[in-house]
A and B are shown apart, each in its own frame.
Chain A
Amino acid sequence: MSANASVRPRVAVHKFSSCDGCQLAFLNLGEDLLTLASRVDLVHFAEAGPLDADAEVDVAFVEGSVSTPEDLERIQRIRARSRVLVAIGACAVSGGIQGLRNGADSASWVARIYDHPEAIASLEHSTPIATHVAVDFELWGCPVTGTQVLGVVNALLLGVSPRDNADKVCTECKRQGYPCVLVARGIPCMGPVTRAGCGALCPGLGRDCYGCFGPAESANTDALSAQFARLGLDTQAIARRFQSINSQAPMFRQAADKARAAGNE
Chain B
Amino acid sequence: MSESRNVSIRVPVLARVEGEGALDLVIEQGDIKELRLRIFEPPRFFEKFLEGRHYAEVPDFVARICGICPVAYQVTAAQALETLFEIDIGPWARAMRRVFYCGEWIQSHSLHIHLLAAPDFFGCGNAIELAQIAPEEVRRGLRLQALGNELMELFGARSVHPVGVRVGGFHAAPPPERIHAMREKLAAALPEAEALVRWTAGIALPPDAQEFVSVALRHPVDYAIEHGEIAASDGLLIEAAAYPEHFVEHHEPHSTALFSSYQGRPYLVGPLARLNLNRDRLPDDVQALLAETGFALPSGNVFQSMLARAVEILLALREALRLLADYHAPASPWVDATPRAGVAVGGTEAPRGLLWHRYEIDTDGLVRNARIVPPTAQNQARIEADLRLSLLNFGLDHADDALRLHCEKVIRNYDPCISCATHFLRLNVSR
Using a CB–CB cutoff of 8 Å, the interface residues on chain A facing chain B are 1, 15, 17-25, 27-28, 30-31, 33-34, 37, 42, 46-51, 53, 67-68, 71, 96-98, 100-101, 104, 106, 109-110, 113-116, 118-122, 126, 142-143, 145, 198, 201-202, 204-207, 210, 212, 237, 240, 244-245
Q: Give complex CA distance A205, B256 in Å.
A: 37
Q: Give complex CA distance A207, B425 in Å.
A: 31
Residue B70 is within 8 A (CB to CB) of chain A in the complex: yes
Beyond A50-B15, A119-B254, 10 extra complex contacts between A and B, CB < 8 Å: A15-B19, A49-B128, A97-B64, A116-B251, A116-B252, A121-B40, A126-B44, A142-B161, A143-B160, A212-B161
For B404, list chain A residues within 8 Å (CB): none
Q: Give complex CA distance A3, B107 in Å.
A: 33
Taking CB atoms and an 8 Å cut-off, the chain B residues in 133-183 that contact chain A are: 138-139, 142-143, 145-146, 149, 157-161, 163-164, 166, 171-172
Chain B, residues 240-259, CB within 8 Å of chain A (1/0): the string is 00000000001111101000
For A119, list chain B residues within 8 Å (CB): 253-254
For B57, list chain A residues within 8 Å (CB): 210, 240, 244
Contact A245 B64 (CB under 8 A): yes
Q: Give complex CA distance A97, B43 in Å.
A: 12
Contact B43 A120 (CB under 8 A): yes
Residue B42 is within 8 A (CB to CB) of chain A in the complex: yes
Q: Give complex CA distance A21, B66 in Å.
A: 7
Contact A49 B15 (CB under 8 A): yes
For B64, list chain A residues within 8 Å (CB): 19, 21, 96-97, 142, 245
Can you name 5 A-B pairs with beta carbons within 8 Å? A1-B128, A47-B16, A49-B119, A97-B46, A206-B172
Contact B43 A110 (CB under 8 A): yes
Q: How far is the CB of B167 from chain A (nearest CB, A)?
A: 12
Contact B419 A20 (CB under 8 A): yes
For B54, list chain A residues within 8 Å (CB): 237, 240
For A114, list chain B residues within 8 Å (CB): 251, 427
Q: Give complex CA distance A116, B60 in Å.
A: 31
Q: How far is the CB of B250 from chain A (nearest CB, A)?
A: 7
The 8 A-B residue pairs with the shortest CB-CB distance, nearest first, are A21-B67, A49-B126, A119-B253, A116-B253, A100-B49, A201-B157, A115-B251, A205-B172
For B40, list chain A residues within 8 Å (CB): 121
CB within 8 A of B18: which of A20, A31, A51, A110?
Answer: A20
Contact B253 A30 (CB under 8 A): no
Q: Give complex CA distance A212, B17 in Å.
A: 26
Main secondary structure of the interface of B (DSSP, over half): loop
Residue B80 is within 8 A (CB to CB) of chain A in the complex: no
Contact B65 A49 (CB under 8 A): no
CB within 8 A of A98: which of B14, B16, B44?
Answer: B44
Assess A30 versus B251: contact at CB under 8 Å? Given A19-B419, A20-B19, A20-B419.
Answer: no
Residue B298 is within 8 A (CB to CB) of chain A in the complex: no
For A126, list chain B residues within 8 Å (CB): 44
Contact A120 B146 (CB under 8 A): no
Contact B13 A113 (CB under 8 A): no
Q: Give complex CA distance A20, B161 in Å.
A: 11
For A240, list chain B residues within 8 Å (CB): 53-54, 57
CB within 8 A of B68: which of A24, A49, A244?
Answer: A24
CB within 8 A of A205: which of B66, B68, B157, B160?
Answer: B157
Contact A20 B44 (CB under 8 A): no
Contact A120 B149 (CB under 8 A): no
Taking CB atoms and an 8 Å cut-off, the chain B residues in 111-126 that contact chain A are: 111, 115-116, 119, 125-126
Interface size class of B (residues with CB under 8 A): 35 or more
Residue B189 is within 8 A (CB to CB) of chain A in the complex: no
Residue B223 is within 8 A (CB to CB) of chain A in the complex: no
Q: How far is the CB of A169 from chain B (nearest CB, A)?
A: 12
For A96, list chain B residues within 8 Å (CB): 64
Counting chain B CB atoms within 10 Å of each CB, the highest count among A19, A71, A202 belongs to A19
Using a CB–CB cutoff of 8 Å, the interface residues on chain B facing chain A are 13-20, 40-46, 48-49, 53-54, 57, 60-61, 64-68, 70, 107, 111, 115-116, 119, 125-129, 131, 138-139, 142-143, 145-146, 149, 157-161, 163-164, 166, 171-172, 250-254, 256, 419, 424-427
The residue of chain A having its C-beta at the shortest distance from the C-beta of B19 within the complex is A20
CB within 8 A of A97: which of B61, B139, B427?
Answer: B61
Query: How many contacting A-B pairs (Cβ < 8 A)?
Result: 173
For B143, list chain A residues within 8 Å (CB): 30-31
Contact A27 B111 (CB under 8 A): yes
Contact A106 B45 (CB under 8 A): yes
For B66, list chain A residues within 8 Å (CB): 19-21
For A204, list chain B residues within 8 Å (CB): 157
Q: How far is the CB of A235 from chain B (nearest CB, A)?
A: 14
Q: Give complex CA distance A100, B46 in Å.
A: 9
For B166, list chain A residues within 8 Å (CB): 207
For A100, list chain B residues within 8 Å (CB): 45, 49
Q: Give complex CA distance A142, B313 in Å.
A: 27
For A101, list chain B residues within 8 Å (CB): 45, 48-49
Q: Give complex CA distance A240, B366 in Å.
A: 12
For A145, list chain B residues within 8 Å (CB): 158
Q: How far is the CB of A263 from chain B (nearest CB, A)?
A: 14
Q: Give complex CA distance A120, B253 in Å.
A: 8
Contact A30 B145 (CB under 8 A): yes
For A47, list chain B residues within 8 Å (CB): 15-18, 116
Contact B164 A205 (CB under 8 A): yes
Contact B45 A19 (CB under 8 A): no
For B142, list chain A residues within 8 Å (CB): 30-31, 33-34
For A46, list chain B residues within 8 Å (CB): 13-16, 20
For B53, list chain A residues within 8 Å (CB): 240
The residue of chain B having its C-beta at the shortest distance from the C-beta of A30 within the complex is B146
For A198, list chain B residues within 8 Å (CB): 158
Q: Give complex CA distance A48, B149 in Å.
A: 18
Contact B125 A49 (CB under 8 A): yes
Q: Give complex CA distance A135, B41 in Å.
A: 23
The residue of chain B having its C-beta at the shortest distance from the C-beta of A90 within the complex is B64
CB within 8 A of A115: which of B15, B60, B164, B427?
Answer: B427
Contact A48 B16 (CB under 8 A): yes
Contact A21 B42 (CB under 8 A): no
